[in-house]
Homo-oligomer: A and B are copies of this chain.
Amino acid sequence: MVRPAQVFREKQDIDLRTGHRVESIDPANKSGKGATSEGKAFDFSYDKLLLATGSRANIPDVPGVGLPGVFALKSLEDGRRIKQHIAKTPVRKTVVVGMGYIALEMCEALRSRGIEVHMVKPGPIFIPWLNPELADAVRQEVEAHGIGLYPGHEIKRIEAEKEVMTVVCSDMELKGEMVLLGVGVSPCSELAAGAGLSLGPNHSVAVDRFMMTSDHDIYAAGDCADAYHGVTGKKTWIPLALRANRSGWAAADNVIGRKVALQGVVGTAVFKVFDMQIARTGLSVKEAQDFGFDSAETVIRSRSRAHAHPGASGIWAQVVGDKKTGRLLGAQMVGKEGVAHRINAAAVALHAKMSVEAFSQSDLAYAPPFGPTWDPLLTAANQVLKQL
Chain A interface (Cβ within 8 Å of chain B)? 1, 101, 230, 240-243, 245-246, 262-272, 277, 279, 281, 307-308, 338, 340-349, 351-352, 354, 358-359, 361-367, 369-371, 373-375
Contacts and interface: CB of A to CB of B under 8 A. Distances in A.
A363 B351 contact: yes
A327 to B, nearest CB: 13
List of 5 A-B pairs having minimum Cβ-Cβ separation, nearest first: A352-B352, A344-B345, A270-B365, A340-B370, A341-B341
Contacts of A263: 358, 361
Nearest to A359: B348
Nearest to A361: B263
B241 A363 contact: no
Contacts of A267: 363
26 contacts: A101-B367, A242-B364, A242-B366, A245-B373, A262-B361, A264-B363, A266-B363, A268-B365, A269-B367, A270-B365, A272-B369, A279-B365, A338-B341, A340-B367, A340-B370, A341-B342, A341-B371, A344-B364, A344-B365, A345-B348, A346-B348, A347-B362, A347-B365, A348-B354, A351-B358, A351-B363
Given A351-B363, A354-B352, A361-B351, A270 B345 contact: no
Contacts of A366: 240-242, 270
Contacts of A308: 1
Contact of A245 (B230, B240, B246, B374): B374
Contacts of A245: 373-374
Given A341-B338, A341-B342, A342-B341, A347 B370 contact: no
A267 B365 CA distance: 9
A263 B378 CA distance: 14
Nearest to A265: B363
